[in-house]
Structure 1
Amino acid sequence: MQKIYTVQGETVDSVCHKHYGNTAGITEQVIEANPHITFLPPVLPTNTLLMLPTTTKPTATKKLIQLWD
């Protein structure tokens, strides 16, 4: 379920951290859901509306190499 959030002079990263607990891979999803913000300054104007999509935590796609046991 998507939420609508009213910005209070924040950056997209700070909104993501506040609502999702981190920004890894989520910031891009929020920007994609809100293409209108690409034309705004980094600190979004107060009362800008953001759609916060339902996301899942990004999963690791790279296999880690362990050099020592």
Structure 2
Amino acid sequence: MTAPVDTATVITTEGAVLDEIVWRHYGRTEGVVERVIAANRHLESFGPILPAGVRITLPPLPPAPERRVIRIWG
């Protein structure tokens, strides 16, 4: 498991996309984009492409669950 990522703040550039910002910071998007939106309710007023100058707080997250690989064939 990896350690939680600390809180960070990002200020967007023209044409930024939240999924990409989340991916670059956390290395994953599954279940994370929703947490970032919950921490930044003002993002709900924008469409999928963000304008320049939007401040986004990237909250700390618990580590990603460890994935177990189960071999069903030898």
Same fold (TM over 0.5): yes
Aligned residues: CA RMSD: 2.2
2:28 is equivalent to residue 6 of structure 1: no
CA contact (8 A) 1:3 1:51 kept: yes
Which blocks of at least 5 consecutive residues in structure 2 are unaligned? 1-5
Q: TM-score when scaled to structure 2?
A: 0.73
More RCO (CA 8 Å, sep 6+): 2
Aligned length: 68
Which blocks of at least 5 consecutive residues in structure 1 are unaligned? 61-65
Q: TM-score when scaled to structure 1?
A: 0.78
Greater share of residues in strand = 2
Calculate percent identity across the aligned residue pairs. 30
Q: Which residue of 2 aligns with 1:27?
A: 33
CA contact (8 A) 1:24 1:58 kept: no
Q: What's the offset of the Cα at 1:18?
A: 0.8
Aligned residue identity for 2:37: I
Q: What's the offset of the Cα at 1:22?
A: 1.1
